[in-house]
Amino acid sequence: MDTFQKAEARALELRRELAHHNHRYYVLDSPEISDAQYDALMRELQGLETAHPSLATPDSPTQRVGGAPVDDFGEVVHSAPMLSLANLFDDAGLVEFEDRIRKLTGLTQVAYVCEPKLDGLAISLRYENGRFVQGATRGDGTTGEDVTSNLRTIRSLPMELFPLDAGVKVPKRLEVRGEVFIRKEDFRKLNEKREEAGEPLFANPRNAAAGSLRQLDPKVTASRPLTVYLYECVPSEDLPAFKSHVEKLEHLRKLGLPINTYVRVEGVDGIRKAYDDSLKGRHALPFEVDGMVVKVDEEDLRRRLGQVSKSPRWAVAYKFPPEEESTEVQNIGIQVGRTGALTPVAHLRPVKVGGVTVSRATLHNEDELRRKDVRQGDTVFVRRAGDVIPEIVSVVLSKRPADSRPFEFPAHCPVCGAAAAKDEDGAIIRCTGASCPAQLVEKIRHFASRLAMDIEGLGDKLATQLVATGTVKSFADVYGLTKEKLLTLERMGDKSAENLLAAIEHSKQTTQRRFLYSLGIRHVGDATAKAMAEAFPEVHRLFTATLEDITRVKDVGPVMAQVIHTFFQEPQNQQAVEALLKAGVSPAPPQVSTSGPFLGKTVVLTGGMSGMSREQAKEEVERRGGKVSGSVSRKTDFVVAGEDAGSKLKKAQELGVRILDEQAFLLMLQGDARG
């Protein structure tokens, strides 16, 4: 066996292993290996595919991160129609459904399957020779949208079928139907991240799932916690002649496909009990449901019953009653988030909704507040969106008090008093204060991060402790920390305290670029901080800089310039800067070489370095007049290759770009410094 054949065999083995562990983790919730072990398998497969590009097939687990964005979704004609279900809302409807089944079949006893009605987005998947090749939305039932690239990012969906039972044969062609959705806990975490980032919250898991699957950029879909359950397959010659739906589901499970385990087989009397149990237990389920699907179990009976219009006669959706209640808005307040976003919150007369007492409901942002026109004293309908987030659905205008007035959004932060300013899209209003207590944990974490003041040991957990205990109330307070103060904190020992104090002291000697970045000015990333430092090498000059002065800085547009100008005009922020300088922080102006090996050169960094971090290496190159790029091209002058350098090194070799190892790179830096 030659080298390629060995690599091919190992890649197949790794794909099988990773598929198995994905199934254990995402479907069964029962992992067999640690995350580190999983990552090691993935890195090995990535290495083989880098060395042998032909092994990087579309169904490989390494390809789940998402491909290039598309301009529009293509159309997919379904091989068999994707039917929609007729709805039942009460016991009378169930009796009518059962009578119709008995009349059409002539039977007095029929077995039914009861499944949770997932509140997600219906999809169709096609596998050929065991490999996932295409996926589509329901669309109009006949034609759907091609969302194959997005479906590839879903971890619970196997890209290749590896049967769990040795006796199960992989069909040449398999078309299955199912539902893409987001679990409740994943939805909660997703909205937490969006709130921290100052992004609009999703109203419910279904909207989030549908919107995520229909993103034109698969990388956005890959960042969302989508999962999938499959519940049907299109008959074909490659499949056994199933006698029942339950038998069919078991076959799909043995093929390694994710199947909903909350399935019950009942007679018609059992349907009522299953419905009552489901209604009572809906909030305990890990996913969102809006009813129960009732299906005839026997496949032959299904064929005999057929369909009417676009709905099957053998299945219905038995819907749960809507969970909405009316209550009164007692007050509207403003909540300031970790990123400074001012969010209006309605304080309600407590009311039970879906078994949970609700006393608050977010109004998301000013635009949403205006759209719904919610006011103090209003009677409103409230629901728990996605059974998770309390949401005001509508206002009962006929009950509105005669003296009601629209809510006035504050011009200043209610926590610290700093000016409140709208984002560039006008949707979110934020506090502009650098020392706002509501944002302080996030501000301190950013202030201490690697590209900012680079205070090793001061991460999110410690920042939370320092702010919660009142030990740190501003940036400057970090430089007033003592060993005695630190030792009062939980899990802080002598050595840790000494190391942290040393890192804090070391951070005082910094650069203007790092200093400006550390202040956490919205939109000011590392590159903008570099351009601003070059234009304003001394921070006090920004106190008096005009909007026009800032707009003239390279790559700083009008919107960003306005944000920067507003920040440095705020007295609270000027005081924060002055306090840092008084505490001993000394930001040095940029020093750019006018000669040397990196002047005017484009450098690409790849792999790990033992002598310095990637950020430090980038800074050293830029300080010497060079530019650091993220990709290799014919215009690249040097590629600095550290340990475990990957595809960038290979491309540099192919293009004949000069490659420097870490030692050569450091020697060039030292030689330039001496020269």
The C-alpha atoms of residue 50 and residue 42 are separated, in whole angstroms, by 12
Cβ-contact 189, 140 below 8 angstroms: no
Q: What is the 3-state secondary structure (H, E, C) of 46-109?
A: HHHHHHCHHHCCCCCHHHCCCCCCCCCCCEEECCCCCCCCEEECCHHHHHHHHHHHHHHHCCCC
From the list 77, 132, 392, 117, the residue with the least C-alpha distance to 262 is: 117
The C-alpha atoms of residue 584 and residue 479 are separated, in whole angstroms, by 8
* Residue whose tokens read 């497969």: 45
Please work out, in degrees rounded to the nearest 5, the angle formed at the alpha carbon of residue 398 by the alpha carbons of 394 and 403. 100
The C-alpha atoms of residue 589 and residue 541 are separated, in whole angstroms, by 12
CA 214 distance to own-chain centroid = 15
**Residue 392, amino acid:** I
Q: Find all residues with CB under 8 Å of 36, minimum gap 6, and list them.
A: none
Q: Which residues pair with 343 in a beta bridge?
A: 335
SS3 (DSSP) at 281? helix
Q: Which residues pair with 128 in a beta bridge?
A: 131, 173
In the annotation, is 508 catalytic? no
Which structure tokens are listed for 452?
Answer: 């900012």
* Residue whose tokens read 């956490």: 520
* Residue whose tokens read 């000016």: 419
Cβ-contact 602, 636 below 8 angstroms: yes
Q: E-assigned strands of 320-439? A: 324-336, 342-353, 356-362, 379-385, 389-395, 420-422, 429-431
Q: Which of 6, 103, 117, 172 is catalytic?
A: 117
Q: Find all residues with CB under 8 Å of 585, minimum gap 6, and list them.
A: 453, 479, 507, 508, 510, 515
N-terminal to C-terminal alpha carbon distance within the chain: 55
Q: Which residues pair with 131 in a beta bridge?
A: 128, 160
| Exposed/middle/buried for residue 108 (C-beta within 10 Å: 0-12, 13-18, 19+) | exposed
Between helix 35-51 and helix 3-22 the angle, nearest 10°, is 150
Residue numbers annotated as active site:
117
